[in-house]
């Protein structure tokens, strides 16, 4: 990829993906790598700039992540955020101590606008709110640096050595709560790194199509098509790249939403692609019999998907490449380097060791969800596909807590359909980025008519998000929730209690499993 690049070196921060997302909003390609990335690899990548993330550790703990001084000699601009700022200070001879008063959340911050980064931020006032999250602070900056921001309890909320192109902020400019934070990141990539900010989906589409053609050559390609946003966009991209060499296989694993298999087939029947629908529901449900652990569910489904695709490939003839609609959040949540595995996505961490294909192609692997949608629009996909409700590859299997049964699947399908219908009836379907029902493993006592019931509790989940890396729970009006609750309890057997999930991401994930 020929785009200008900013590298985010991850020290274990909870916002590492968000930093990359914000830099891309500035029009610069950005990716996350481990702080252990060899210096030669960084030099070879020739990034226009480097950003150090935050992290939960203390720099003076020997077991904490550290970095060698040689990275500061590359001449590449560096911005340290939170722990990343402390690493810069500690490594270059400054001093870091424990705070007498820790700072968490919104904090009034005072800026010196003669600083290189802050001076170029449009309409930045002398003081504004920033988002802090630290128990240590830089008590003494390194020689050659100067302080460019402070708070009541943090004397070096930002500091810089403009001659060496080294900059540090104790707060988190990537978080929306930091006023003018995006402007600060934009100032870093434009004014310090000198980026042209040419990252966009039009350029990406052109480059991706050329790369796919070069890789595939005359080979045959099988696309794992779910009918969701990601695989639909991948289909459009591959169709333009290799045309008739592409076969799309839609595997109905038995965990689809109500009527979804028929809807997917209808959506793609008029496309100029080879489309195959496979009913593998008995096969998948049988594999998950007695399985309750969510990671085991995901990995079992991931492996079985591959086996089904291998079987279909043999029917087609020799297929060289398998294409998946994997996107960047899937990769990061499945664990990269030292990053924690949040959940193994069936198409990443759930892949088996042995795969009977020459290579797996993932043309969306480095894109966030909103970038995928922009790419879909650029490729000419209709709105009903681009803005389709996100649906996880394992489907309802990870929206049923505990063991899966056919009865539970039918209960959840009916309840989920009602929830989606009422959200659409209230014209909230474009305001809420994802919404769905979860069948919990909890039962509770209820009363219907004159009789006692002891049935399942259903959870409803709705979130608003721009990138699916962070999310807030959707403020669905009570009258809509009430209508949903009444309909489900009256129309769906074996549910007698409805709850609404009001947890953001983090600390929760969007899906329950």
* Torsion sign over Cα 40, 44, 50, 53: negative
What token pair was written down for 307?
């086996």
What distances in angstroms separate CA 506 from CA 55, 129, 348, 473, one per listed residue? Answer: 15, 21, 21, 11
30 alpha-carbon distance from chain centroid: 14
CB proximity list for 43: less than 8 A, separation 6 or greater = 74
Whether the CB-CB separation of 363 and 234 falls below 8 Å is answered with yes
Q: Is residue 146 helix, strand or coil?
A: strand
Tell me if residue 265 is catalytic.
no
CB proximity list for 286: less than 8 A, separation 6 or greater = none
Beta strands in 282-345 (DSSP E): 321-323
* Catalytic residue (one of 26, 30, 82, 154): 82
Taking alpha carbons only, the member of 70, 61, 31 closest to residue 47 is 31
Tell me if residue 260 is catalytic.
no
HSE toward the beta carbon, residue 276, CA cutoff 13 A = 16
Whether the CB-CB separation of 290 and 403 falls below 8 Å is answered with yes
Distance, CA of 232 to CA of 239 (rounded, Å): 10
Instruction: Estimate the crossing angle of helix 478-491 against helix 406-425, to 10 degrees.
Output: 140
What token pair was written down for 465?
């998000």
Continuous segment of H or E residues that includes residue 421: helix 406-425
* Catalytic residue (one of 172, 180, 345, 346): 172
Q: Is residue 78 helix, strand or coil?
A: strand
> In 3-state terms, the chain is what percent helix, strand and coil (to 5)?
35, 25, 40
Distance, CA of 394 to CA of 403 (rounded, Å): 14
Distance, CA of 410 to CA of 492 (rounded, Å): 9
Distance, CA of 29 to CA of 9 (rounded, Å): 14
Tell me if residue 172 is catalytic.
yes
* Catalytic residue (one of 4, 174, 260, 304): 174
Whether the CB-CB separation of 126 and 86 falls below 8 Å is answered with no
What distances in angstroms separate CA 88 from CA 53, 77, 200, 240, 303, one per listed residue? Answer: 11, 12, 32, 46, 43
Question: How many CB atoms within 10 Å of residue 105?
Answer: 10
Q: Catalytic residue numbers?
A: 82, 172, 174
């Amino acid at each position: 990829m020929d785009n200008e690049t900013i590298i985010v070196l991850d020290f274990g921060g909870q916002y590492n993906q968000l930093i990359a997302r914000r830099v891309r909003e500035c029009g610069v390609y950005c990716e996350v790598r481990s702080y252990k990335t060899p210096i030669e690899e960084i030099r070879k990548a020739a990034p226009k700039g480097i950003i150090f993330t935050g992290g939960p550790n203390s720099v003076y703990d020997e077991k904490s992540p550290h970095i060698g001084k040689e990275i500061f000699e590359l001449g590449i601009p560096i911005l340290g955020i939170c722990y990343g700022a402390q690493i810069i200070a500690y490594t270059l001879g400054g001093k870091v101590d424990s705070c007498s008063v820790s700072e968490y959340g919104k904090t009034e911050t005072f800026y010196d606008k003669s600083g290189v980064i802050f001076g170029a931020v449009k309409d930045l006032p002398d003081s504004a709110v920033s988002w802090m999250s630290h128990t240590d602070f830089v008590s003494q900056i390194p020689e050659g640096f100067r302080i460019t921001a402070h708070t009541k309890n943090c004397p070096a909320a930002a500091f810089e050595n403009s001659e060496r192109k080294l900059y540090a902020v104790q707060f988190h400019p990537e978080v929306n709560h930091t006023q003018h934070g995006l402007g600060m990141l934009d100032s870093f990539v434009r004014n310090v790194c000198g980026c042209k900010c040419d990252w966009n989906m039009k350029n990406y589409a052109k480059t991706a199509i050329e790369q796919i053609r070069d890789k595939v050559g005359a080979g045959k390609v099988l696309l794992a098509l779910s009918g969701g946003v990601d695989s639909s966009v991948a289909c459009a991209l591959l169709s333009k790249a290799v045309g008739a060499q592409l076969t799309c296989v839609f595997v109905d694993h038995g965990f689809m939403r109500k009527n979804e298999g028929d809807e997917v087939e209808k959506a793609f029947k008029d496309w100029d692609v080879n489309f195959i629908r496979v009913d593998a529901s008995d096969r998948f449900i049988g594999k998950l019999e007695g399985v309750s652990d969510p990671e085991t569910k995901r990995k079992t489904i991931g492996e079985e998907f591959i086996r089904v695709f291998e079987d279909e490939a043999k029917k087609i003839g020799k297929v060289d490449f398998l294409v998946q609609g994997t996107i960047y959040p899937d990769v990061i949540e499945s664990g990269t380097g030292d990053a924690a595995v949040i959940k193994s996505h069936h198409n990443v961490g759930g892949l088996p060791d042995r795969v009977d294909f020459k290579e797996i192609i993932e043309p969306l692997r480095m894109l966030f969800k909103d970038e995928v949608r922009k790419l879909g629009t650029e490729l000419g996909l209709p709105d009903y596909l681009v803005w389709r409700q996100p649906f996880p590859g394992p489907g309802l299997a990870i929206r049923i807590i505990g063991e899966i049964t056919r009865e539970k699947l039918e209960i959840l399908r009916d309840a989920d359909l009602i929830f989606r219908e009422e959200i659409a009836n209230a014209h909230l379907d474009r305001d809420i980025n994802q919404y769905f029902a979860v069948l919990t493993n909890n039962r509770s006592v209820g009363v219907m008519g004159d009789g006692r019931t002891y049935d399942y509790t259903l959870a409803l989940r709705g979130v608003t998000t721009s990138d699916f890396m962070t999310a807030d729970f959707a403020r669905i009006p009570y009258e809509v929730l009430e209508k949903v609750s009444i309909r489900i309890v009256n129309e769906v057997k074996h549910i007698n209690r409805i709850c609404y999930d009001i947890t953001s991401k983090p600390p929760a994930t969007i899906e329950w499993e």
